[in-house]
Amino acid sequence: MAKILLVVLGLLLAYWILKSYRKRVDRREPPPPAAGAEDMVCCAQCGVHLPRSESITARGKFYCSAEHQRLGSPTD
Ligand SMILES: [Zn+2]
């Protein structure tokens, strides 16, 4: 009878160790925020994302190229 109790205790211990180990593994560090990363903007015409410095701004909207700027803001 004592043997069974020992086995149960052993299983409980193994379970507890496994649980605490998995908890430690799961707690991964969140990815650090990209330091100095440039603002990404979305082309109003095709929706492509590009750095703000590479985009063309027109009427408060961003475009990936002069072509899309022309298409996105028709002259009327
Ligand atoms: Zn575009």
Mean pLDDT of the chain: 86
Q: How many CB atoms lie within 10 A of CB 45?
A: 18
In a domain, 4, yes or no: no
Domain count, the chain: 1
Ligand 1 centre and the CA of 40: distance in Å?
Answer: 13
In a domain, 48, yes or no: yes
Ligand 1 centre and the CA of 28: distance in Å?
Answer: 37
In a domain, 3, yes or no: no
0.85 exceeded by pTM: no
Ligand 1 centre and the CA of 43: distance in Å?
Answer: 5
Ligand 1 centre and the CA of 36: distance in Å?
Answer: 24
In a domain, 66, yes or no: yes
The single residue listed with the structure tokens 């299983």 is: 11
30-42 tens-digit pLDDT: 766 655 677 899 9
Average the pLDDT over each of 6-20, 29-43, 59-73 and give the range with the smallest value.
Answer: 29-43
Domain of residue 57: give its range: 40-72
In a domain, 61, yes or no: yes
Q: What's the pLDDT at 24?
A: 78
Q: What's the pLDDT at 6?
A: 92
Question: Is pLDDT above 80 for 75?
Answer: no
In a domain, 15, yes or no: no
In a domain, 59, yes or no: yes
Q: What distance in Å separates the CA atoms of residue 57 and residue 15, rounded to the nearest whole number?
A: 59
